[in-house]
């Protein structure tokens, strides 16, 4: 009787492991096929295929308002967190623009942490960071460890104006 129970438990565990493993593989395959990135990524990841197909043209084509960004030169925050979805049209438009702005100001990219999410918009790291994401992209601006402002999905006016209202005013 014990041998039958043990055999049943082993078979059940094998079936569960098989389905869990296949489900993970299916999710990973879906992410690869949809060019989804998930987790913390580097800036250079955005410049590499397949993401460079949307990142580089949107970066190149954006015309930074140089008069406005002059106001941001001395307002660099200590930390910026960007949460984006590589599947999201708003992320594909706003994130390259954001980097063009900070590059034109001369801010340090190493102060920017980038997190890519799937459509569920959750990552284990978010709990430790104390953030929850409803829409992407979301830009979090921190000074002295304190959140001073966010830009969620779309700027209210432009990225430059919204950044000024968060960091200068």
* Per-position pLDDT tens, the chain of length 169: 567 776 666 666 555 555 555 444 334 434 444 568 999 999 999 999 999 999 999 999 999 999 999 999 999 999 999 999 999 999 999 999 999 999 999 999 999 999 999 999 999 889 888 888 999 999 999 999 999 999 999 999 999 999 999 999 7
Residues with Cβ within 8 Å of residue 47, at least 6 apart in sequence: 55, 56
Tell me what pLDDT residue 51 has. 97
Residue 138: how many other CB atoms lie within 10 Å: 22
Tell me what pLDDT residue 47 has. 96
Q: Hey, CA dihedral for 157, 163, 166, 169, is it positive or negative?
A: negative
pTM confidence score: 0.79
Per-residue b or e along 33-58, where b marks 16 or more CB atoms closer than 10 Å to that residue's CB: eeebbbeebeeeebeeeebeebbeeb
């Amino acid at each position: 009787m014990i041998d039958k129970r043990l055999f049943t438990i082993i078979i059940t565990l094998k079936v569960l492991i098989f389905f869990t493993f296949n489900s993970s593989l299916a999710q990973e395959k879906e992410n690869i096929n949809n060019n989804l990135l998930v987790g913390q990524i580097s800036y250079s990841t955005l410049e590499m295929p397949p993401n460079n197909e949307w990142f580089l043209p949107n970066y190149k084509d954006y015309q930074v308002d140089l008069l406005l960004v002059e106001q941001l030169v001395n307002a660099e925050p200590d930390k910026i967190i960007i949460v984006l979805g590589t599947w999201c049209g708003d992320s594909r438009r706003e994130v390259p623009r954001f980097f063009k702005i900070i590059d034109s100001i001369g801010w340090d990219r190493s102060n920017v942490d980038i997190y890519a999410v799937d459509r569920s918009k959750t990552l284990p790291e978010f709990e430790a960071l104390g953030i929850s994401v409803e829409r992407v992209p979301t830009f979090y601006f921190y000074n002295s460890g304190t959140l001073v402002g966010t830009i969620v999905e779309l700027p209210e006016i432009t990225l430059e104006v919204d950044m000024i209202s968060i960091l200068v005013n």
